[in-house]
Amino acid sequence: MFTSILKEHKGFGKQIFLLAKNELIKTYKGAVIGPFWAVVKPAFTVFVYWFAFSVGIKALKAVNVHLNGMEHKAFSIDFFTFMFVGIIPWFFIQDSIVQGAKTLRTNRQFITKVKFPVSTILTYTGLSRLFVHLFLVIIMYGYVIFFRVSNGNPPFDWYDLQFFFYCPLLFFFFLALSWSTAPMSAFSKDFESLIVSIMSGVFWLSGIMYDSYSFSGGLKWAMLFNPINFFANGYRNCFLYHRGFWVYKTELIIFAAELIGVTLLGIFNYNRLRKKLPDVL
């Protein structure tokens, strides 16, 4: 049971890359500026949030960040920079959850017509989103360097390398989540609609526009259980906080437990529903 998904991927690596590439072509081809749409949409979103909070409401020019533990005092970060670094993983997460749930339905020709390693559909569509994400990260990193230099800091930092810790985890976590959500959405359109409709709420419940560490008591704990916070804060660990991923152990342990839970649940749901998929799609 545990190996069924792995087995489907075996020897299919090259095809997964090829299919991921074609997913990208399918998404962006036919538009005049083609791949730049991948940038235009997030850029506009970032602009709108910055405009609403910093210009419109005027209050938010800087965010006070309270990192946990003794080693840091609260410090203040430019709002735009804080939000920008946190929202980049969010774009990936949002697409992964919404598109990931729909993927099997949109690729049904591979399920109902031919024999196909179905779980690889989730991998190659996820991979195509990862390419877009990496592209956005490069742009963000360019901005981070600019921000550092303009504040008189050195352009690079060893903590930046933690990106290679967080990014694969980001990819895998939401891939494993789609092992549950994708077959369930294929079964029931209501489940798919449910996911789509809660997403904008999830955004505001996650520490992307605000610092999720800044609460106290029960709320602070609740925030630790939202895996989106782990990634938003993780990217900020890399590029803004100069903090190692191992420093805040409680957060790391909770996330690790969730990762295991989501993975096991994903394997369970995938195996439970896989053989019924051709009948319902």
Partner 1 sequence: MAEPIITFKDVSKTYILYKNDQARFKALFIKPKNPKTNRALNKVSFEIQRGESVGIVGDNGAGKSTLLKMITGVAFPDEGDIVVNGKVAALLELTAGFSMEMTGRENIYLKGYILGLEDEYIKQIEESIIEFAELGDYIDQPVRTYSSGMKMRLGFAINVNIEPDVLVVDEALAVGDASFKRKCKDKIKEIIGAGTTVLYVSHNADSVKEICPRAIYLRKGTVIFDGPTDETLKVYHDYKESQKKKK
The footprint of partner 1 (CB under 8 A) covers: 11-12, 14-15, 18-19, 22-23, 25-26, 29, 109-117, 184, 187-191, 275, 278-280
**Residue given tokens 């036919």 in the structure block:** 30
Min separation Cβ 164 and partner 1, Å: 29
Q: How far is the CB of 184 from partner 1 (least distance, A)?
A: 6
Residue 123 or residue 237: which is nearer to partner 1 going by CB?
123
For tokens 């991921």, the residue is 20
Q: Which is nearer to partner 1, 28 or 165 (by Cβ)? A: 28
Rounded to 10 deg, the angle between the 249-274 and 163-187 helix axes is 30
- Annotate 237-247 with b (16+ C-beta within 10 A) or e (fewer): bbbbbebebee
Nearer to partner 1, 76 or 112 (CB): 112
Between CA 220 and CA 22 the distance in angstroms is 42
Cβ–Cβ under 8 Å, residues 130 and 100:
no
Nearby residues of 220 by Cβ (< 8 Å), 6 or more positions away: 213
User: What end-to-end distance do the CA atoms of the chain give, in Å?
Assistant: 23
Q: How far is the CB of 173 from partner 1 (least distance, A)?
A: 22
Query: Minimum Å distance from CB 273 to partner 1?
Result: 8
Q: How many C-beta atoms surround the C-beta of residue 60 within 10 A?
A: 19
> Considering the complex, what minimum distance in angstroms separates the CB of residue 222 from partner 1?
25
> Which of 19, 240 has the CB closer to partner 1?
19
**Shortest distance in whole angstroms from residue 137 CB to partner 1:** 25
User: Which CB sits closer to partner 1, 117 or 234?
Assistant: 117
- Contact call for residues 209 and 164 (beta carbons, < 8 A): no
Query: Alpha helices, DSSP H only, in 107-188?
Result: 109-112, 119-150, 163-187
Pair of tokens at residue 250: 């409680």
Comparing CB distances to partner 1, the nearer of 259 and 280 is 280
Minimum distance from residue 24 beta carbon to partner 1 (Å):
9
- Written as one letter, the residue type at 236 is R
In the bound state with partner 1, the residue whose beta carbon lies nearer, of 224 and 267, is: 267
Report the candidate in 275, 266, 276 with the shortest Cα–Cα distance to residue 175: 266
